[in-house]
Structures are given as C-alpha cells and as structure tokens.
C-alpha cells in the first residue's frame, strides 16, 4: 500500500497499533481541510504492527494529546520534503479539555463552563484522574 510522502507537514509515527483512530479523533483532525492519512497495522520491525498518521500541512499538533494516548509515538515535522524536527513525547501532568469526565456526579456534569482537567496520578499504569472528582479517565 502506497501513501505519497509529504512535502510540508507532520508525521506521527510509531503509534501503538489500534490507537491511530483515537488520536485522529482527539487531535480533531477531521476538521482539517488538508489531506490526512491514517495508516493502520503497518509492519514494524520494532513494534510488530503500528499505526501512522500523515498530515499534509505544517500545523501545530497538541503534544499533550499524543502523550496521553500513546507516549511512545514520535512526531516528525517535515518541511521542504526534509525532516527538520523530531519531537519527544511525554505523558502530560495535566490534560485540559481533551477528554471529558464521565462521572454523572462530577461538578463538570452540571457546570458546563468548567474546563475538564485530568491529572496524571500513576505514571506506571498511565492513570489520569479528574481533578474535581478523582474519577479515572477511560
């Protein structure tokens, strides 16, 4: 399967297989006018299988979202057909307005203007909890 290489844009590589669509949704890539490719289950020597997202536009991507979904992913910035920057990803301590608290008893369920903020409480198990009600993100 061939996908054209991009001249100016962003490549999110080494995404854990199966996480590509979640990243696509949380990064809001469906709202872009430019070409976006999600390639699933690509063979990888290191990972066995991986997903890749290619964005054919030099836009800023929210690294916190990538760090939350898959901190092992890599972000490559391509300009003029050349890799100019490789961004390292880490799990963010705070995740703001990326995911919503699903606890119906949480104050965010009734006060719509409150930001939905989650805090990393367990790095080893990648657990984020709502800062208001401490419900685990899932």
Partner 1 sequence: MRSVISILDLSVAEIDGLMQTACDIIANPAHYADACRGKKLATLFFEPSTRTRLSFEAAMYELGGNVLSVSSGSSSSAAKGESVADTAKTVSCYADIIAMRHPKEGAPYVASLNATVPVINAGDGGHNHPTQTLADLLTIYRQKGGLGNITVGLCGDLKFGRTVHSLISALSRYEGVKFALISPLELKLPSYVKNDVLKKKGIPYIQTTDLVSVMPELDILYMTRVQRERFFNEEDYLRLKDSYILEPKKLAGARQDLCIMHPLPRVNEISVAIDSDPRACYFKQVLNGKYMRMALILKLLKEAGTL
Q: Cα(10)–Cα(80) distance, rounded to whole angstroms?
A: 12
> Does 128 contact partner 1 by CB under 8 A?
no
> Does 138 contact partner 1 by CB under 8 A?
no
- Give me Rg for the CA atoms of the chain: 16
Q: Which is nearer to partner 1, 87 or 129 (CB)?
A: 129
Q: Which is nearer to partner 1, 46 or 105 (CB)?
A: 105
Q: How far is the CB of 133 from partner 1 (least distance, A)?
A: 4
**Residue 122 neighbours by CB under 8 Å, 6+ apart:** none
Q: Which of 38, 42, 63, 131 binds partner 1 (CB under 8 A)?
A: 131
Dihedral (Cα; 66, 72, 73, 78), 10-degree rounding: 110
> Does 132 contact partner 1 by CB under 8 A?
yes
Region of 124 on the Ramachandran plot (φ > 0 left; ψ -120 to 50 alpha; else beta) = alpha
Residue 54 · residue 6 · CB < 8 Å: yes
Binding mask 58-97 for partner 1 (x = CB under 8 A): ----------------------------------------
Binding site for partner 1 (CB under 8 A): 103, 105-111, 113-114, 121-122, 130-136
């Amino acid at each position: 399967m061939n996908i054209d290489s991009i001249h100016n844009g962003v490549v999110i590589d080494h995404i854990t297989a199966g996480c590509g669509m979640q990243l696509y949704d949380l990064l809001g890539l469906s709202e872009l006018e430019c070409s976006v490719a999600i390639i699933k289950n690509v063979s990888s020597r290191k990972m066995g299988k991986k997903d890749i997202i290619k964005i054919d536009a030099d836009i800023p991507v929210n690294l916190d979202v990538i760090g939350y979904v898959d901190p092992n992913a890599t972000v490559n910035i391509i300009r003029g057909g050349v890799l100019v920057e490789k961004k390292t990803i880490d799990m963010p301590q705070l995740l703001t307005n990326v995911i919503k608290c699903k606890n119906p008893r949480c104050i965010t369920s009734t006060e719509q203007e409150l930001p939905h903020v989650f805090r990393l409480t367990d790095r080893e198990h990648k657990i984020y909890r709502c800062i208001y009600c401490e419900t685990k993100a899932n």
